[in-house]
Amino acid sequence: MPGVLLGEEFPNFEADTTSGRIKFHDFLGDSWGILFSHPKDFTPVCTTELARAAKLSDEFKKRGVKMIALSIDSVEDHNSWSKDVMAYANEADSPLPYPIIADDKRELSVLLGMLDPDERNKDGLPLTARCVFVIGPDKKLKLSILYPATTGRNFDEILRVIDSLQLTAQKKVATPVDWKPGEKVMVIPSLPDSEATTLFPNGVTTKEMPSGKKYLRYTKI
Ligand code: BEZ
């Protein structure tokens, strides 16, 4: 089955982009990376998504995350559509702040399992789904999300997830439902209480549960 699983090394593919030819690992360098695909250039939902991603580019930069988009269109189409995207973002005089991969031969879309069988072009060929891959500085896949063509993504949620990924890569914590940066986090179940008290100087609080099991341990980072 094509695709990349969590924890696997992300393929070091070569591709043409709106910033020239790249080798993916060189493009990433030591940074985190986000690769997000969209079905087609010059389509409405995709335009709103890429404009939102452009508006948030400083937020990705702040987190040390290199951005790159992808669809099965050509570099020429991407360059032309980028102007529409930036006009939609009310920044018509600025270039799109991240490159777009031209996967017009669909090689990467097949390799990464990104095609949406329910959405096809006029020749009956499947379009790319709305995939998100977050890659760590070790080039391993840390997160993947797959939306169908008909549902636009929430880029605030993508930033929230990156905050969680970057925090949990450093500390022995996990982030609970609807967590936002600054809120309490949970001590991971595999960490013994004795180690948790030394690792978390802000203290660890445990919520009593009917089972009597003490697995809901919170701390503040
Ligand atoms: C869109 O971006 O609006 C779109 C693209 C393909 C299928 C459905 C919607």
* Interval 35-85: pLDDT, tens: 999 999 999 999 999 999 999 999 999 999 999 999 999 999 999 999 999
Pocket of ligand 1 (CB under 6 A): 39-40, 43-46, 119, 127, 149-150
Residue 108 and residue 186: Cα distance in Å, rounded?
A: 37
Residue 54 and residue 128: Cα distance in Å, rounded?
A: 20
Q: Which of 118, 138, 156, 193 is catalytic?
A: 138
Count CB atoms within 10 A of the CB of residue 82: 21
For residue 46, indicate whether it is catalytic.
Answer: yes
Rounded to the nearest whole angstrom, what is the distance from the C-alpha of residue 46 to the centroid of ligand 1?
Answer: 6
* Interval 141-160: pLDDT, tens: 999 999 999 999 999 999 99
Confidence of residue 116 (pLDDT cuts 50, 70, 90): confident
For the chain, where are the alpha helices, taking DSSP H only?
A: 24-28, 44-55, 57-62, 75-88, 107-111, 155-170, 193-199
